[in-house]
Structure 1
Amino acid sequence: MCGIVGYIGRREAAPLLLEGLQRLEYRGYDSAGLAIHARNPGLKSAKAAGRVRDLESRLPKRFSGTTGIAHTRWATHGAPDDANAHPHLDATGRVAVVHNGIIDNASDLRARLAADGVTLASDTDTEVLAHLIGRSTAETLEARVREALGHIEGTYGIAVLHAGFPDRIVAARNGSPVVLGIGEHEMFVASDVAALVAHTRQVVTLDDGEMATLTADDYRTCTTEGSRTAPAPETVEWAAESYDLGGHDTYMHKEISEQADAVDRVLRGRIDDRFATVHLGGLNMDAREARGVRRVKILGCGSAYHAGLIGAQLVEELARIPADAEPASEFRYRNAVVDPDTLYVAVSQSGETYDTLAAVQELKRKGARVLGVVNVVGSAIARETDGGVYVHAGPEVCVVSTKCFTNTAVAFALLALHLGRIRDLSVSDGRRIIAGLRRLPEQIAEILRGEEEIRRLAAEYAEARSMMFVGRVRGYPVALEASLKLKEVSYVHAEAYPASELKHGPLALIEPALPTVAVLPDDDLLEKNRATLEEIKARGGPILAVGHERQEKADHTLVVPRNEPELDPVLLGVPLQLLAYHTALTLGRDIDKPRNLAKSVTVE
């Protein structure tokens, strides 16, 4: 959930490190810092609480050096202040470490170091690693890092400088992403390719238990036990411009506006008109294996979990396979029965979400077949699973997910259609769903053209201290995601319930001061949903409906185009993303960097 960037080469490191941190700031933004090998032997470091711009304003004019590491932090251990910002140094100031992850046995190690007379300067778990490396007497920096990691329990992605080894950076990974960037007479290391693509698109992704040594002209990798490895470089498909604002005021607005093109990308090259199905070669599962699936279990966290709920409904409706979704963070801690006939699907925008990755690893240990639905090629979940579907949403920089959520829901429609046509879904129904999929990009564009109406409504509802979101069956996952979006980005309290559950308790909350957003797809439950509106209206509750036609009992209705009923949730969520965005804008929130949140949750 923090950002790492490192550089070694012939250029001045500090400007490159600051640029990389700015591109990674969505991963952590409560403090930042950097350390470089100075031209005079030794290390120089600077760090500051706050944003990268606060760090930049504190840098001395003379901060020269061609090798350095930097970090932007999302606090886990210790308050977000200068002392707890990374990099952390050892007692001599000759070792600097930046670290993503959590060291589980940090308390024991801190106590042991303190007993040996070491004065700890921060409240962080990371500092112990700097001291352990600094106290090692091994001959090489790699050996010193390896020795220190032998004392560590937990997760880490690290980069290390040592004043005694000015020609190298050592990096290591266990549970937190580390990517190497290969340049011309220069090398980079980062926790995310976003920090690299302005300078190189040739990358190497480290596996768990792998280390790397970077020099200006080369790199080499090995396991943390010392055995050499040879990972092949890959070409990143996203260009540096993909991470620019492109004329928008915020990344969230940009990414909402990109959804028509993003959905077109996830469909491109996958539709098979001849057999009324889709090609998903990445599943690595033939028709016989697909027919053997007796249940589908979808695992994800946050927005990925909500997309999984939509996916489970699609699988049941189109493939007639029992399916459900569960938060990966809960699944991994219960003693779940792992059925060999169940297909497990792990969902993650980043492909690095720790709770989801841990669930995948537990499932693989028990012999389950696991697919991944992820956005980032070569990510940990993509590598650990047996196959899967890339959602091709493009980079998503805003902390809250919008276009990736939408593309994930569409990817599940593709998976459900694929499974359905292998089983009992008719050709005519396959063609109907394909026609609906092809209509989605233009229908999304149509919704986005109505942004001004949504802006006006957001200004009207922004003063509410709390909001209720309700939906039934297909509408319920949309209500959950819309509620989450509003909470994340505007800090307005919101709750989501199945509309059928309203009268079983939550109806007690309804009053004139509590607006309700009702998601009303035009399906066979429409009249029951209208009855829910009657219940709310009878108690004086304001109603904003989202559906395919104006609702008499609603104070306002956001009308979205009709698609096939199974695909309507994809469209119903889009205006509610804009509602959350404009509510946050009205309230003056920091939209791309909501408080307390980070983009890629790589810790527990």
Structure 2
Amino acid sequence: MCGIFAYLNYNVGRERRYILEVLFNGLRRLEYRGYDSSGIAIDSDLAFFKKQINGGGGAARGEDSSWPSPSGSAPPLVFRQEGKIESLVSSVYTEVDEMDLNLEESFNVHAGIAHTRWATHGVPAPRNSHPQSSGEWNEFLVVHNGIITNYEVLKETLTRHGFTFESETDTEVIPKLAKFVYDKAREGDQTVTFAQVVTEVMRQLEGAYALIFKSSHYPNELVACKRGSTLILGVKELTDNKNRRALFHDVKSLTKNGQPKELFFSSDLCAIVEHTKNYLALEDNEVVHIKDGCVSILKFDYGKEKPASVQRALSVLEMEVEQIKKGHYDHFMQKEIHEQPHSLTTTMRGRLKDHGVLLGGLKEHMKTIRHSRRIVLIGCGTSYNAALAVRPFLEELSSIPVTMELASDLLDRQGPIYREDTAVFVSQSGETADTLLALDYALENGAMCVGITNTVGSTLARKTHCGVHVNAGCEIGVASTKAYTSQIVAMAMMALAIGDDRISTKARRESIIYGLSDLPNKVREVLKLDSEMKALAESLIDAQSLLVFGRGYNYATALEGALKVKEVALMHSEGMLAGEMKHGPLALVDETLPIIVIATHDACFSKQQSVIQQLHARKGRLIVMCSKGASSSVCPSEFCRAIEVPQVIDCLQPVVNIIPLQLLAYHLTVLRGFDVDQPRNLAKSVTTQ
């Protein structure tokens, strides 16, 4: 999982310093996708480069080859650094100062690329960071998000043709392959466009990827392509109007030369919202070529020698800049926890009716879903937990058997998926690798595929037959909070829509709809426990482990609460099914081990009371989450600590109950001195297996 970003200004003067800052800010917006290393590439110029060589200072970027370069122009400058984005920023400004690079030089047209990495192939190090290069002179440079599955075969082939490799990445084969294709064409006296080079490279690649190419052979041009991983084109056309209003509605109008514009590529909408709201989500096998201010889109097809030209309409981004800023909060996770009343409201807006719900994304396929033999809920991590929270009342309202599948396990087992099944895929990013592979597997087996995702234009949104957009807003913190609760609500509305044709559940559905409408108010109420959860975190700061017991609707709450503590506070924690307590976990109980038991009022309440008594009898260090006013009836002694939460209808209680555990995880992390938004070894949008 990585973040890629590119910026091209055309017919509008931009200083090199400005270009650097646009690239750096793009990476800052994407840092939640990867933060163990990063890099950028910008243009040099002939005068500077000759000065570097002839002035006795050595060749730019440490190269010692003689002039001229193969392209006849100055090679791009590539900066790569291990660590977070600010480490790159600091090192770049130090290096440009040492090499006396003029940051005030203005470019009427310039193409720069940038990348932030979460290591998959190769340890975090400058040599493994992107942009990856074709070799000496940086003739071709590539930034990459995804994974190339046949890179070893390509590497062996290129090595036999004289290429040497410096990194451990799968990405390095791509720019070297581009140089190989270009050199072969030139040897045959063929003139090839940048887009032709890239399409021939695509023909050799297997796997999932989003790629942006830059080359000194094609100055001031960029080519981007994708297969499986998200890639966004942002467009900002500039006018003399003070408001710099956009003057176009589709890509065709961008083919007109001369109009000043700024163009952006990004693996996430969050990185372009501060520049423009006009964007295009690339589809699989599309190639976007930017040259002379024109944007050309080609559709690559393995069966055809030449890709076809296509026209695409631009979309308008609904996200606001404020969503990608922390505001008065200390961390994004803290902000996103407290944004949940709003995110739940936006998820339900326009969808809740007096006696039902309106989900336009499912309408055409509802008959097929209702006639399914079973519904299979598929996800990973937090998304799996959200689906698990919904399973009981999805079964209840639909009267269709509902099964759960972890995407990776389904693939490992090649579990049975049938044409009569409806497979529901849940992913916050819409780019989770295992979930997408499971989606391909289900499509191959003929199942009806439904997507639940927070990301417009994501692979999951495009490849499923239908779906529900979660609409929780941009989530920057790596540990998902508001997306989790909005996923539950989105799937709750899906359950209501599926069961809408059953008279026997009408009263139940209406009570759930009423509960949904009041849910944001209940969440505001439970957020008032913030200081109480901070005090609880202070009492647990030295604990080595934490157990969380839940059952029924709140088994998922136990799993998700423990996962949050594990993810950010780096503390061992386990969510457990309370009904299995006596089948092993009870052996762990003593007076030192903190145990949270979720015992709010529902059909499992009396069973949870029994669990509490058994844990108390073994001197367990008890923390009980209960409904407001019920602490005296569930806490067996003064040594038991209670967390009182508002009571809502049983099937929606997991939305309320998870929030104190999110707050606990947040405060534990801060108190223990760890990075809340960028936890160790984790990043957002798991796009590799």
Using the size of structure 2 for normalisation, the TM-score is 0.85
| From 227, 242, 246, the counterpart of 2:308 | 227
What is the distance in 1 between the residues matched to 2:434 and 2:501?
32
1:476: Cα distance to partner? 0.6
**Local SS of the residue matching 2:679:** coil
What is the distance in 2 between the residues matched to 1:288 and 1:387?
13
Structure 2 residue 16 is the aligned partner of structure 1 residue 16: no
1:227: Cα distance to partner? 2.0
What is the distance in 1 between the residues matched to 2:506 and 2:202?
57
| From 115, 121, 133, the counterpart of 1:71 | 115
| From 638, 641, 644, the counterpart of 1:559 | 644
Compared with structure 1, are the counterparts of its residues 286 and 67 closer, same or farther at alpha carbon in structure 2 (3 Å cutoff)?
closer
Structure 2 residue 295 is the aligned partner of structure 1 residue 250: no
Deviations 1:68-94 (A, max 9, x none): 100000000111011111111112321
What is the distance in 2 between the residues matched to 1:566 and 1:192?
33
Deviations 1:501-558 (A, max 9, x none): 1110111122223211111121222121111122222222211111212121372111
**1:159-170 correspondence runs (5 A):** 159-170=212-223
Structure 2 residue 213 is the aligned partner of structure 1 residue 156: no
What is the distance in 2 between the residues matched to 1:600 and 1:32?
17
Structure 2 residue 465 is the aligned partner of structure 1 residue 412: no
What is the distance in 1 between the residues matched to 2:292 and 2:552?
57
Corresponding letter in the other structure for 2:122: G
1:223: Cα distance to partner? 2.4
**Local SS of the residue matching 2:462:** helix
Structure 2 residue 213 is the aligned partner of structure 1 residue 131: no
Which residue of the partner structure matches residue 300 of structure 1? 379
Structure 2 residue 43 is the aligned partner of structure 1 residue 37: yes
What is the distance in 1 between the residues matched to 2:566 and 2:228?
28
Deviates more, 1:301-310 or 1:412-421: 412-421
**Local SS of the residue matching 2:125:** coil
CA contact (8 A) 2:389 2:554 kept: no
**1:148-547 correspondence runs (5 A):** 148-184=201-237, 185-215=261-291, 217-225=293-301, 226-273=307-354, 276-285=355-364, 288-547=367-626
Corresponding letter in the other structure for 1:573: I
**Local SS of the residue matching 1:416:** helix
**Local SS of the residue matching 1:559:** strand
**Local SS of the residue matching 1:208:** coil
Deviations 1:125-182 (A, max 9, x none): 1111111112223322222222223222222111110001012111111121111111
Corresponding letter in the other structure for 1:258: E
**Local SS of the residue matching 2:322:** helix
Compared with structure 1, are the counterparts of its residues 359 and 491 closer, same or farther at alpha carbon in structure 2 (3 Å cutoff)?
same
CA contact (8 A) 1:319 1:425 kept: no
Deviates more, 1:355-364 or 1:164-173: 355-364
Which residue of the partner structure matches residue 86 of structure 2? 53
1:414: Cα distance to partner? 0.9
1:213: Cα distance to partner? 0.8
1:290: Cα distance to partner? 4.4
Which residue of the partner structure matches residue 55 of structure 2? none
RMSD of aligned C-alpha atoms?
A: 1.6
What is the distance in 1 between the residues matched to 2:29 and 2:502?
45
CA contact (8 A) 2:131 2:143 kept: yes
| From 643, 661, 680, the counterpart of 1:576 | 661
What is the distance in 2 between the residues matched to 1:136 and 1:186?
30
Give unpaired runs (5+ residues) of structure 1. Answer: none
Deviations 1:372-427 (A, max 9, x none): 11111221111111111111111100001000000111111111112222224433
| From 82, 86, 102, the counterpart of 2:126 | 82
Deviates more, 1:75-84 or 1:549-558: 549-558
What is the distance in 2 between the residues matched to 1:314 and 1:514?
33
Deviations 1:26-83 (A, max 9, x none): 0000001000122333211111000110000011243566211000000001110111
Compared with structure 1, are the counterparts of its residues 287 and 47 closer, same or farther at alpha carbon in structure 2 (3 Å cutoff)?
closer
Corresponding letter in the other structure for 1:268: R
What is the distance in 2 between the residues matched to 1:249 and 1:305?
29
Corresponding letter in the other structure for 1:23: R
Q: Percent identity?
A: 38
CA contact (8 A) 2:370 2:398 kept: no
Which residue of the partner structure matches residue 6 of structure 1? 6
What is the distance in 1 between the residues matched to 2:421 and 2:445?
12
What is the distance in 2 between the residues matched to 1:290 and 1:298?
13
How many residues are treated as equivalent by the alignment?
602
Deviations 1:318-360 (A, max 9, x none): 3332112211222233333223332211111111112112222
What is the distance in 1 between the residues matched to 2:173 and 2:439?
30
Structure 2 residue 604 is the aligned partner of structure 1 residue 598: no
What is the distance in 1 between the residues matched to 2:118 and 2:372?
41
1:447: Cα distance to partner? 0.6
Deviations 1:219-275 (A, max 9, x none): 1111234222223211111022210101100000000000011111112211221xx
What is the distance in 1 between the residues matched to 2:162 and 2:280?
40
Corresponding letter in the other structure for 2:368: E
Structure 2 residue 131 is the aligned partner of structure 1 residue 98: no
Deviations 1:87-121 (A, max 9, x none): 11112321111111111222233333333332212
CA contact (8 A) 2:373 2:421 kept: yes
Compared with structure 1, are the counterparts of its residues 223 and 334 closer, same or farther at alpha carbon in structure 2 (3 Å cutoff)?
farther
Which residue of the partner structure matches residue 60 of structure 2? none
What is the distance in 2 between the residues matched to 1:297 and 1:91?
48
CA contact (8 A) 2:418 2:446 kept: no
Corresponding letter in the other structure for 2:310: T
CA contact (8 A) 1:186 1:216 kept: no
Corresponding letter in the other structure for 1:94: E
1:440: Cα distance to partner? 0.8
What is the distance in 1 between the residues matched to 2:146 and 2:158?
20
Deviates more, 1:582-591 or 1:380-389: 380-389
What is the distance in 1 between the residues matched to 2:371 and 2:465?
16
Using the size of structure 1 for normalisation, the TM-score is 0.97
The higher radius of gyration belongs to 2
Give unpaired runs (5+ residues) of structure 2. Answer: 47-73, 186-191, 238-260, 302-306
**Local SS of the residue matching 1:183:** strand
Deviates more, 1:312-321 or 1:260-269: 312-321
What is the distance in 2 between the residues matched to 1:188 and 1:297?
38
1:568: Cα distance to partner? 1.0
Corresponding letter in the other structure for 2:266: A
What is the distance in 1 between the residues matched to 2:76 and 2:658?
50
What is the distance in 1 between the residues matched to 2:564 and 2:366?
38
**Local SS of the residue matching 1:594:** coil
**Local SS of the residue matching 1:101:** strand
Corresponding letter in the other structure for 1:52: I
What is the distance in 2 between the residues matched to 1:333 and 1:287?
30
Deviates more, 1:217-226 or 1:490-499: 217-226
1:293: Cα distance to partner? 2.8
